[in-house]
Structure formats: structure tokens, C-alpha cells
Amino acid sequence: MTFNNKIDSKLVKEAQYLQDELTRHNFRYHNLDDPEISDAEYDKMMARLVEIERLYPSLSTPNSPTKRVGAAPLESFETANHSIPMLGLDNAFTDADLLDFHNRTLKFLASELESKRDIFSSSKESLNNSLNSQTLYTVEPKLDGVAVEIVYEDGILTRATTRGDGVTGEVITQNVRTIRSVPLKLSKSSNPNPIPKLLEIRGEVIINRQDFENLNKSRLEKQEPLFANPRNAAAGSLRQLDSKITASRPLSIFVYGTGVVDGIRVNSHSQILKILESYGFPINPLVREGLTIEEVLDHYRELEKQRESLLYEIDGMVVKVDNLEFQKALGVKSRSPRWAIAYKFQAIEATTTVEDITVQVGRTGALTPVALLEPVNVGGVTVSRATLHNQDEIDRKDIRVGDTVIVVRAGDVIPKIVKVIESKRSGDEKKFLMPSECPVCKSPVKRVDDEAAIKCINASCSAQLKERIKHFVSKSAFDIDGIGKKFVEQLVDKGVVSSFADLFVFKNDDLSIKRLASMDRMGRKSAENIINALEKSKNITLKRLIYSLGIDHTGESVASLLSEKFKTLDSLILASKEEIEVVEGIGPKIAVSVYDFFHNPDNIVLINNLIDNGVKIVEQNLLSQAVDSKSDSIRNKTFVLTGTLTSMTRSEAKELLEKAGAKVAGSVSSKTDFVVAGDSAGSKLTKAHELGVTVIDEDTFKAMVG
């Protein structure tokens, strides 16, 4: 046992072996995303190493992988100066800003080359050549995280600091050690580069979007305050005095530069990145080197497109002059270098104020509080409203009228308030309480069991009716062209319709046309167009009809499940709660609301009115499905292309499918949804028939992809 100072040499070897192996597996898992062993095997090895190190603490070196779990809590953070200040970056917001940077750079370098050529060690000729070729730049995503510096002495991690004010940062070594993708030792194996005496690296600590969501979810469950965004979560996690807390947070890092380096010779930034990668640091895969300014602009557009689909948040692109001699010649200003610039994306987060909170009534009667904001540009879109969901949400975030708030808009997601900036409060802000009556029809409201929502109980409330009709005419429902939101509101306010079935009362006759044409901003022509659109929409699939009815909790996918299962409207109407509930993908809550809907006599009258007014449920054949709802029939489906297509090449067909969200596979299997068979299709077609996979011809395919 441990009382004996001498440790069995076999155990020393085993500990060493486990430390090396666990470091290697850690790297494969966190940096390469390519694990070699299962989590269970990893855990087993780790447990064994922890046990050995517990028994023989002298084997527990500071760089052992067991040290990723955090150390004893600190009283406070020490501070340390950076050997070289950690500078910021100037920002460009437009192509013109970036071109200005480019022209400044060219002019500066040309005149430096002319006047003080002796400061360059390379020949003037070679520098002139590289300036003329203009492939000057390396570009990187601008990661939206927290900048850190990590120092390695003789290949061992000895200190990590925050950026702080750029000159002095806080020492967070214990915390940075817990980040799995940070090497504790520089990797030596198969590395052509020597281990430098001193290496200071700089990089951005980030949290992936999904990890951030999960982190907030678990904080919500534990009633802990939520983080506003992944960057705040990363910053908060790094500033923990107890590194065990940091260890429990899903932090990772991308490295983008160096401070002092002693012992390696390099002449370009891209070369630095490659060497850092060889030491085991994660380098962002979207880095591009040797670009002209035109290519830099192209890459920016590309990154902008990819932005939403990346696993982590980026807020722009960093453009760096690659040649280190050029960097040196360009030099630095007081807070930023002249050799780099950040070309920022449009903000998807902005600060604004809550001018008021109103209450909206939805088609199911649910009352939703909505913040009316001072209009603000968020990612190129002016935002003036944000849903607050319900009273619980308002209370949790403590949002008051008059508050200064941070709003975000991600992709096409509805803007939301993520945080109140409490320090901006003047004391005049007003708390908000949901009303006890419907703001439109003044009927009492009631809280729905175990839901945060409150509802207006009056089924004929005009606000609900308007929303039901808007839903009914929408794209995925009856898809009636020409009936917009404002028009629906007029129809209801003027008492022209009192249910969506009333829409089909309008026929192609003079009376109907006159009636519609008498509405505001309408004429005879537009009235006729609406009547034609109504006529065209009358043939509808069961799935769309179910969706159109606006049943609680019944969106497109539930409607689709119900239509597939019950096939006809009559059998759905006659189904018992249990029969509905057993449909895969439908839970008890949905089953109750579907069942209740069809057992409300008013709804049966409504459905009968639709049918009496000419609505007809039609079979959903493949073609109409494709034209009807392209997205559903193609998205996430697997296609195999075979034979020769006459109107396009196979790669064009592939591109069309991929654009529509489908996968294109090379061979037919039971997972294939469709085989597109062109002329002289061979074995793949036979296989499709054998497996019962749907085969479509070129015309059908064209109709599907539109």
C-alpha cells in the first residue's frame, strides 16, 4: 500500500500508459470528433487511473488527464500582465469598409517596400511578387466567445489568463485546464516541429449552441438564472473560483494566434496555425489562406450563409494579412493591429426598450402578452414586437414596461427578449399583469390546467375568429391567394363572415363579386380573383383539411399522422379517444383536443357547411402531394437517381433535391424513399422493385421539385 515509499514499477508504467492513452483518446474525442473507444471504456480507464493516483499521489502529475475535473476553489483571481498586449480588432461593416482596409494595406506596404526595404529580411523582389499577386489574406470566422491566453513552457501548460483590459488579465489556469480540447502538454508524437521553450497561444473559448441550450434547460429545472447567450455562458463559466463548476460546463476552444514564441521559426500566420494544430490545438476548419480581396468577399458571403447552421456562434469574419513580415511592417495602433480587421455580420442581437406590453388573442383563445419595442435593427430586420409567451415568462425574466432589454433574432425565428439590463432601470418601470378578461370581447379568461397559458372562453370572440380564418386561408391550409390578414379583419369586423365556412358562400356571381368589391382597397378584379382562388382551393387533401380546422395542438405533422391513420374524415370523427391516442406520434394531450373538437356539435355544423359549400376531400396521389406540399414530400427523404434524365444532368437533379432538403444516396436500400428512374435504368431499378421502394419517372420528379 501507500505507506511504502517505493512504488511498484509496474504501477508507474501503468499510470504513465493510462495518462498517455487517456490524453490521446481525449484529443480524438474533443478535437478530432473521431473517438476510437466507447465512453464506457474511457470511463473505465479513467477510473483506474484515478484509483492509482489516489493511492500514489506522487504519480498524479499536474498534466494528468484526471486533472480536468477541477481543483480546490480559489479565494480570488490573481492578475498577470500579458507579455504582448492582447489587442482588439477594428471593425468593417460593409464591403466598402473592407475595400478601404485593403487599399490602405496595399498603399502602406508599397510605400514601406519602397522606402525602408532594409526592415524586411526577404528580398524586395519576392515581397513585391507576393504583393502583386495580392493573395495576401488569411480569413477566419470571428468566434463569439471569450478570448484567453495560454502559456506553455517546455511544452507544459503553466498559465492561462483572460484578455482583461488587453494588458492585464485574470489568471484562470485551473479553469482552462478543465477544457477538454485544451492540450495540457504539447503533442510530440510524429511532430516535425520542435517543442518551443515558450509558447503563448491565444484563442477563443466557446460553448456550442446545443450545449448552451442544454445548459440553460438544466438551469431552468434547478431554478438558476439563465444565461443570455453562449458567450455569456462561456464567460461566466471561465470566471468561476471553483474550477469544478467550470469542469461541469461544456467549454471548448479554437486557437487563432500567438503571443511570445521562443523556439520556432515561421513566416506566415497560416503556417503558425498549422504548427499549432500539430501541437494538438483545435484550429477552426473554416480558416482559408492565400485569398485575394475578391475571394475574401466571396468567403464572407459563404460564411454568412453557413452562419446559422454552424454548431457555434460567430459574429463575423477576421481578415488577417498572412505574411508576418508584412504584419510587422504594418504594425499596430494603440488598441488594434493594422494588419487585421473584423468584417462583422449584421447584429442578430440588439438593445432596445419595451414601450408597452399588449395582449394578443390567438385562434384557440390563448392570450399572449407581446412586448411593443422601440423599433431596432436586428440582423437587417426591423424588430418592433417580441412575444413574451405568458405571465410566468414575464416574471421569470422580470420584464417591465420601460425596461431596456436585449432582443435576439436567429434565422427566421421570431424575435425574443433574452434579458433585461437591470442597471439601466430608472425606477419608473411598470410591472405587467395579464388581464382577467379578454381584451377584445371582454369575456372572462381561464387558466388552462397545467399550462402557463390563459384563454378567452368565448368561442365566438371576434379576435379568435379572425385568427382562425387567417389560419384557414394560410399557405399550408387552404392556401387561398388574395385573402390577406387585413382583409380577414375587415370581413369579420363588417360581419360579412362569421366562420371560415362562410368564405365559400361567395360564388362566381354578380352579388358575390359586388359584395367583396365593396370592401376597402378592393375592386371588381380583385374580388373576381379571390372567388377564383376560393374555387380552386375547394379540392383539398384530408391532411390539409384537418390542419385548416385549427384544432388545438394539431399542426401539420399531427394532421399528417391523423390523415394517414384514419384515411377519411368520417372515420376520424367517429374515432374514440383511445384510437386516436394509439397513433404513433400522438400523445394523450393531442388525442383529447382532437376528440373534443369533433365532439363539439358547433364544429360538426362547421364541417358540414364546408362540404355543403363545395369543399371536397381528394386523394393525395404522389403528384398532387408533390405540388401540394413540396417541402413535406421532399425534405429529409432519401432519393436515388438512376438511368439517364433527358431534361437535366444527374448532378443538376442532385443539386435540386439537396436544395429542397432531400438526401441523395448512391445505392438503393430499404431506407430509400424514392428512386428516380430515367432512360435505361438498370439494376437499381430492379432492386427498387424488389424492395418495394416507390419509383417515379422524370416528369413526376420534375413536378415534385417544381
Using rule CB under 6 A, residue 676 touches ligand IVH: no
CA torsion sign, 503 to 504 to 507 to 511?
A: negative
Using rule CB under 6 A, residue 89 touches ligand IVH: yes
Tell me the closest approach of the beta carbon of residue 703 to ligand IVH, in angstroms: 46
Catalytic residue list contains 142: yes
CA gap 193, 279 in Å, rounded: 8
Size of interface with ligand IVH, in residues (CB under 6 A): 15
Q: What is the dihedral of CA 273, 274, 278, 280, to 10 degrees?
A: 30
Question: Per-residue x/- mask for ligand IVH, residues 142 to 181, rule CB under 6 A?
Answer: xx---x---------------x------------------
CA gap 671, 102 in Å, rounded: 51
Q: Name the residue type at position 238.
A: L
CA gap 455, 464 in Å, rounded: 10
Q: Is 138 or 364 the residue whose CB approaches ligand IVH more closely? A: 138
Using rule CB under 6 A, residue 109 touches ligand IVH: no
CA torsion sign, 410 to 415 to 416 to 419?
A: positive
Helix (H, G, I), strand (E, B) or coil at 136: coil
Question: Per-residue x/- mask for ligand IVH, residues 300 to 329, rule CB under 6 A?
Answer: ------------------x-----------
CA gap 156, 177 in Å, rounded: 11
Among 87, 131, 370, 448, indicate the residue that binds ligand IVH (CB under 6 A).
87
Q: Judged by CB under 6 A, which stretch of 139-147, 221-229, 231-239, 676-684 contacts ligand IVH?
A: 139-147
Among 256, 506, 595, 597, indicate the residue that binds ligand IVH (CB under 6 A).
256
H or E stretch at 315: strand 314-321
Residue the block writes with cell 394532421: 559
Residue whose C-beta lies closest to ligand IVH: 147
Among 65, 196, 230, 257, indicate the residue that binds ligand IVH (CB under 6 A).
257
Among 37, 74, 84, 88, indicate the residue that binds ligand IVH (CB under 6 A).
88
Distances 301 to 101, 316, 337 between C-alpha atoms, Å = 18, 10, 24
Q: Judged by CB under 6 A, which stretch of 137-145, 167-175, 477-485, 684-692 contacts ligand IVH?
A: 137-145
Q: Kind of pairing, strands 454-456 and 366-378?
A: antiparallel
Distances 130 to 103, 113, 633 between C-alpha atoms, Å = 15, 12, 52
Contact between residue 277 and residue 161 where contact means Cβ atoms under 8 Å apart = no
Tell me the closest approach of the beta carbon of residue 317 to ligand IVH, in angstroms: 8
Using rule CB under 6 A, residue 506 touches ligand IVH: no
Using rule CB under 6 A, residue 470 touches ligand IVH: no
Among 53, 112, 140, 149, indicate the residue that binds ligand IVH (CB under 6 A).
140
Please tell me which residue in 6, 10, 107, 142 is annotated as part of the active site.
142
CA torsion sign, 670 to 672 to 674 to 675?
A: negative
Contact partners, residue 98, CB within 8 Å, separation at least 6? 92, 293, 296, 297, 300, 319, 341, 343
* Residues of span 546-605 touching ligand IVH by CB under 6 A: none
Q: Judged by CB under 6 A, which stretch of 140-148, 224-232, 268-276, 577-585 contacts ligand IVH?
A: 140-148
Neighbouring CB atoms inside 10 A of 614's CB total: 13
Q: Is 201 or 469 the residue whose CB approaches ligand IVH more closely? A: 201
Using rule CB under 6 A, residue 85 touches ligand IVH: no
Three cell numbers, residue 293: 480581396
Helix (H, G, I), strand (E, B) or coil at 228: coil
Helix (H, G, I), strand (E, B) or coil at 319: strand
Among 35, 164, 337, 482, indicate the residue that binds ligand IVH (CB under 6 A).
337
**Binding region for ligand IVH (CB under 6 A):** 87-89, 140, 142-143, 147, 163, 204, 256-257, 318, 337, 340, 342
Q: So which residues are the catalytic ones?
A: 142
